[in-house]
Amino acid sequence: DFPPEDSDYHTYSETISEIEEAAAQHSEIVDSTSAGRSAQGRDIPVVKISDNAGTDENEPEVLFTCNQHAREHLTTEMCLHILRRYTDNHGSDPEITNAVDNREIWIIPMVNPDGATYDVSGDGYRGWRRNRESEPVDLNRNWGYKWGCCGGSSGDPSQPTYRGPAPFSAPETASIKDFVESRELGGQQRITAHIDFHSFSELVLWPYGYTTAETAPGMTREQYRRFAELGNAMAGSNGYTPMQSSDLYVTDGSVNDWMWAEHGILSFTFEMYPSSGGIDGFYPPDEVIQRETARNDEAVAMLLNEAGA
Ligand code: 0X9
Ligand code: CA
Ligand code: CA
Ligand code: CA
Ligand code: ZN
């Protein structure tokens, strides 16, 4: 469990309870399913928020994913904040109501429930990053586009950025792949925009990560400009620093490259608070949760808006 002074953070079972509570209180606009199971058999919940949540309506779909990396607990709080904000304020706040009624919002608060649970299962935080397979995999190096291509991951199972034995070898990435593919209907991917929340460094990042080139197969100059423009605008709202992800460092097999290259999804990584630090940067006190999640309210609204363009 989290230490008493950080008890506002949500464990896996508390996250499940939050989802169940939102679904019970707002049954018309909340629908919860499972994307699949983690390596240790935990369900990976997917929450849908929309008017008539039980019906697949022809509305642009937007995906928010959190906690690919075990120790990045603030990101789980980010997804739960989006869940509460877009449910509790539906019907009273016009901007929220409009978004819920004209979008299908998908939220996956805990992509890596085994890792998150392991990270808080000892005396202090463990500083854990990967999943909990016997040879633990960095989920954000396990996605199938240009997997292992370019020195942006490790083939050594002892390394923190171990990419796994094959693309989508990890049950967690495979589950979300299946979920995203299930949103391809009539030959068209319905999800048009995505943010994967990480911590930390206060950055807004866009693809590609596998190459430092701005344009590459599947990324025209015009498409790059759209990423950069929206990325800059979102960063203007939350005070983060915007850049192409490979400007930070090269990664291969990361989620944004796959979402964009394989599905045409406008896919960003947000690195949350704090802006700098050591291992402590992954464990900000729970007192900052409200401020640092609300900080992204406008950026989230901008993405939901852009999803209809
Ligand atoms: O390395 C990662 O997966 C992400 N950073 S973290 O500190 N949260 O682990 C960054 C992924 C963004 N992609 C690139 N930087 N290429
Ligand atoms: Ca506290
Ligand atoms: Ca709807
Ligand atoms: Ca739909
Ligand atoms: Zn991360």
CA angle 44/50/54 to nearest 5° reads: 70
Question: Which one of 59, 271, 292, 306 is the catalytic residue?
Answer: 271
Residue bearing tokens 């709202």: 237
The pair of three-digit structure tokens given for residue 267, joined into one six-digit string: 């896919």
Say how many Å lie between the first and final Cα of the chain, rounded: 42
**In 165-302, which ranges are E strands?**
184-185, 188-189, 191-199, 203-206, 241-244, 266-272
What integer pLDDT is reported at residue 118 of this predicted model?
A: 99
What integer pLDDT is reported at residue 277 of this predicted model?
A: 98
What integer pLDDT is reported at residue 121 of this predicted model?
A: 98
Atom of ligand 1 nearest to the CA of 250: 16
CB 138 within 8 A of CB 161: yes
What integer pLDDT is reported at residue 284 of this predicted model?
A: 98
Dihedral class, residue 148 (left if φ above 0, else alpha if ψ from -120 to 50, else beta): left
Take atom 2 of ligand 1 and give the residue whose Cα is closest. 140
Ion ligand 5, residue ranges at CB < 5 A: 69, 72, 198
What integer pLDDT is reported at residue 258 of this predicted model?
A: 99
pLDDT of the chain along its 309 residues, tens only? 999 999 999 999 999 999 999 999 999 999 999 999 999 999 999 999 999 999 999 999 999 999 999 999 999 999 999 999 999 999 999 999 999 999 999 999 999 999 999 999 999 999 999 999 999 999 999 999 999 999 999 999 999 999 999 999 999 999 999 999 999 999 999 999 999 999 999 999 999 999 999 999 999 999 999 999 999 999 999 999 999 999 999 999 999 999 999 999 999 999 999 999 999 999 999 999 999 999 999 999 999 999 998
Residue 238 one-letter amino acid? N
0.95 surpassed by pTM: yes
Atom of ligand 1 nearest to the CA of 199: 8
**Percentages helix, strand, coil for the chain, rounded to the nearest 5?**
40, 20, 45
Residue 255 one-letter amino acid? V
The total number of residues shown for the chain amounts to 309
Other CB atoms within 10 A of residue 63 CB: 25
Atom of ligand 1 nearest to the CA of 210: 16
What integer pLDDT is reported at residue 47 of this predicted model?
A: 99
**Catalytic (active site) residue 14:** no
Dihedral class, residue 99 (left if φ above 0, else alpha if ψ from -120 to 50, else beta): alpha
What CA–CA distance (Å, rounded) separates 195 from 270? 7
Residue 146 one-letter amino acid? K
φ/ψ (deg, to 5) at 44: -105, 100
Q: Using a 6 Å CB cutoff, which residues line ligand 1? A: 69, 72, 140, 198, 205, 209, 245-246, 248-251, 254, 269, 271
The pair of three-digit structure tokens given for residue 271, joined into one six-digit string: 């690195």
CB 160 within 8 A of CB 129: yes
Q: Which ligand is the nearest neighbour of the Cα of 30?
A: 3
Quote the ligand 4 centre to 56 CA distance (angstroms): 4
Choice from 65, 69, 259, 273 to test ligand 1 binding pocket (greatest atom count within 8 A of CB): 69
Quote the ligand 4 centre to 278 CA distance (angstroms): 42
Atom of ligand 1 nearest to the CA of 205: 12
